[in-house]
Structure 1
Amino acid sequence: MSDTQPQSSNAQQRIQLALEPHIATLTLNIPERHNALASEDVQEIVSHLESIEANRDLRVLIITGNGEKTFCAGAALDQMGSGALNGDVFAAMTDKVAGLAIPTICAFNGSAYGGGSELGLACDFRIGVEGMRVFVPPARIGLCYPVNGIERFVSVLGINMAKRMLLASEEFEASQLLSQGYLTHLVSRENLKETARELAERMAGYAPLALKAMKSIANQAACGQLNQVQAQALHDSCNASQDLKEGFASLREKRRPVFQGD
């Protein structure tokens, strides 16, 4: 899009970050390797996530990939086998994604395998495309998935689906992924960008404090770790904010609200 400003002009950059007003897009750009991530790729993603955290203007993050076959094949197996990359480092990256205060959207441009399936799972919304598949192979090669990753599968998908993916290493097609709650949306490939864009723009127009507060409270509740005092403080902060006053004013004046995040 014309107003998108890439962080780097190098089209060959393996991990691309584009910044627009309120929306960031992180793109895995290694289609020849099915977007499998090497150690340096993981480090670059973490660096980008840290810059996104520090940017108060950003309100939504989209994560996607280039290529028509695979969103992400997880950690690069050659580096996993050599010890140059381990599952804990990869899981720390997905923890970073899951820990972002702003809403996150995974726009699956294709299938996801191993850690790539968890990268999507770490996002708040997962938009899949028809024809995609997902499976998690560690059990097939004798590897135990990282502990925090297992916890994420269970908290998001429930124990039965988590065991089907991790222990049985079942392969799931797009319609199954939607019915089992792995995907939140399923669209045709040609509608992927439009759907992700519409969702991102819609949330970017909402009150940032309210989105952040409700995301935090919902995630705590999903893990059975709701801190009532902290949750109430987030609730009260939103209800005392200038954004809420702006929201009510926009209703009275029959106009779109302009939220500032305070």
Structure 2
Amino acid sequence: MAHSQLTGPRLRHSVADSVATVVIDHPAKRNAMTNDMWRALPPLLDRLTADPEVRVVVLTGAGPTFCAGADISGLRASAAEAQELAVAAEEALAAFPKPTLAAIRGYCVGGGGQLAAACDLRFAEEGAAFGITPAKLGIVYAASSTQRLVDLVGPATAKYLLFSGELIDSARALRTGLVDEVHAPGELDKRVGEFARVLASRSLLTQAAAKEFAAGRADRSAHWTEQARGSGDTAEGVTAFLERRAPRFTWSPAEDRQA
């Protein structure tokens, strides 16, 4: 297992069983993201992309809270810079070529909502609270962030969240599509671990192509067909199915030279 060595408000991470767990660690401020934390996320994701041991990333918060948003001290210093850093981190997370899963307990608000929305999937614990709060601060939410929220929950719920800044509970988040699963207290980590291992056992080639297609990148269809031809994943998947065994997929984003 590999661990980061950072101290203070930080993003720490570990890797075990092909799953990288990235922890938002700033408990003194309910895991609010400082400017340095926003800056740290894109290069961390670059390292995890290049790491052949990593097939899935789980994003979570230290302790009982996922992320209560951006650290207000950064907004006070320069709201424009803080927003630029947050959007850059969100876009890097959305573009990450491997599956990402947000494990959410407690508050998932503001910048925390941006990070959760940028993940592929979101599993929450009962009692979690969700809010998109720029209207409370007079901030113009980025067009890309707004569209990502609309894609998840539809325009009506997106407007409710953006216009009001009000919090919604985990039941409403599940009903509107903001989260994919809700689990009883004490059950979230077990379910996330189980599902992350399922994702890690599947073909990264399939997953990476599906992420692009789901994001509207239809222009790369021929590229992914060529990737499949040059990869051993398809042959391995068919052979494993016929032999009634678990497949051993080997394709990684490092092989995608045109990414």
The 5-angstrom pairing of residues 105-144 of structure 1 reads: 105-144=101-140
Amino acid at match of 1:244: T
Say how many residue pairs are matched: 251
The 5-angstrom pairing of residues 173-252 of structure 1 reads: 173-220=169-216, 226-227=217-218, 229-238=219-228, 241-252=231-242
TM-score, length basis structure 1: 0.89
Contact 1:7/1:19 (<8 A) preserved: no
* Aligned residue number for residue 223 of structure 1: none
Contact 1:106/1:125 (<8 A) preserved: yes
* Aligned residue number for residue 259 of structure 1: 249
Amino acid at match of 1:204: A
TM-score, length basis structure 2: 0.90
Seq. identity, % = 26
* Aligned residue number for residue 18 of structure 1: 14
Amino acid at match of 2:2: Q
Contact 2:153/2:176 (<8 A) preserved: yes
Deviation at 1:31, TM superposition (A): 1.2
RMSD: 1.8
Q: Which runs of 4+ in 1 moved over 3 A?
A: 10-13
Deviation at 1:157, TM superposition (A): 2.0
Amino acid at match of 1:74: G
Supply the distance in 2 between the matched residues of 1:127 and 1:235 (Cα, whole angstroms).
31
Q: Which stretch has the larger CA shift, 31-40 or 146-155?
A: 146-155
Deviation at 1:109, TM superposition (A): 2.6
Amino acid at match of 1:59: R
From 62, 72, 89, give the equivalent of 1:77: 72
Amino acid at match of 2:36: E
Structure 2, unaligned runs of 5 or more: 253-259
Q: 1:77-123: CA deviations, max 9, x gaps?
A: 12101217421211110110000011100001321111111110100
Contact 1:127/1:184 (<8 A) preserved: yes
Supply the distance in 1 between the matched residues of 2:184 and 2:222 (Cα, whole angstroms).
40
Amino acid at match of 1:60: V
Supply the distance in 2 between the matched residues of 1:35 and 1:132 (Cα, whole angstroms).
14
Q: Tell me the SS of whatever aligns to 2:13.
A: strand
The 5-angstrom pairing of residues 52-63 of structure 1 reads: 52-63=48-59
Supply the distance in 2 between the matched residues of 1:184 and 1:239 (Cα, whole angstroms).
33
Deviation at 1:21, TM superposition (A): 4.2
Structure 1, unaligned runs of 5 or more: 221-225
* Aligned residue number for residue 40 of structure 1: 36
Deviation at 1:29, TM superposition (A): 1.2
Amino acid at match of 1:81: R
